[in-house]
């Protein structure tokens, strides 16, 4: 029971970490190495194969940039965690391996057929694909919680933008 609670607790921290990395990967500045790695994720066409390519099984995602993107955003914190708390760390690492290799391409994350209520809670299908059409929203992985909490989901981000525009136009009218 204690292990289960730890896994759930660490899972939330881990998803917050990956959300933060993803937000940072979309901040433009010259030496943003996260962005350099992550841009490969956006260049990839996800409609090619249901089964993972052979190199995915070896946890190599085709090239250094794509692999580093996964390692820094997801794998590294779990490896560190496994040193300090081996059993929950290993459980999350196993989950991460299965998800990344078998589900993250066009089975869940980039599957346009997944729509509706499930995408309100899990950042799969249409929720994650919106991030591919608008890189200023929907940064969460696995669960959508952090986008809703920080109002970076597609509706929250739009509302924030509209609000800023409204304030700017009011300010310019007041001048
Ligand atoms: Zn994606
Ligand atoms: Zn992205």
pLDDT, mean of residues 84-106: 96
Cα of 111 vs centre of ligand 1, distance in Å, is 10
CA 82/CA 38 separation, integer angstroms = 25
What pLDDT sits at residue 147? 97
Q: Is the pLDDT of residue 50 over 90?
A: no
Of all ligands present, the nearest one to the C-alpha of 45 is 1
Inter-residue contact 6 to 35 (CB < 8 Å):
no
Please determine, for residue 175, whether its predicted confidence score (pLDDT) is greater than 70: no
pLDDT tier for residue 161 given thresholds of 50, 70 and 90: confident
Please tell me the distance between residue 3's alpha carbon and the centre of ligand 2 in angstroms. Answer: 32
pTM: 0.91
End-to-end CA distance of the chain: 62
């Amino acid at each position: 029971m204690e292990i289960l609670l730890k896994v759930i607790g660490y899972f939330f921290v881990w998803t917050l970490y990956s959300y933060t990395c993803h937000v940072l990967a979309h901040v433009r500045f010259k030496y943003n190495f996260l962005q350099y790695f992550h841009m490969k994720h956006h260049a990839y066409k996800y409609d090619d194969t249901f089964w993972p390519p052979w190199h995915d099984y070896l946890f190599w995602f085709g090239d250094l940039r794509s692999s580093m993107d996964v390692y820094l955003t997801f794998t590294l914190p779990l490896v560190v965690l496994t040193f300090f708390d081996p059993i929950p760390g290993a459980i999350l690492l196993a989950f991460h391996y299965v998800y990344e290799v078998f589900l993250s391409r066009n089975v869940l994350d980039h599957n346009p057929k997944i729509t509706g209520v499930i995408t309100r809670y899990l950042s799969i299908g249409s929720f994650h694909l919106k991030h591919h059409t608008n890189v200023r929203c929907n940064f969460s992985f696995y669960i959508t919680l952090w986008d809703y909490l920080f109002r970076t989901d597609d509706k929250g981000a739009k509302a924030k933008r509209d609000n800023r525009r409204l304030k700017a136009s009011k300010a310019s009218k007041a001048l």
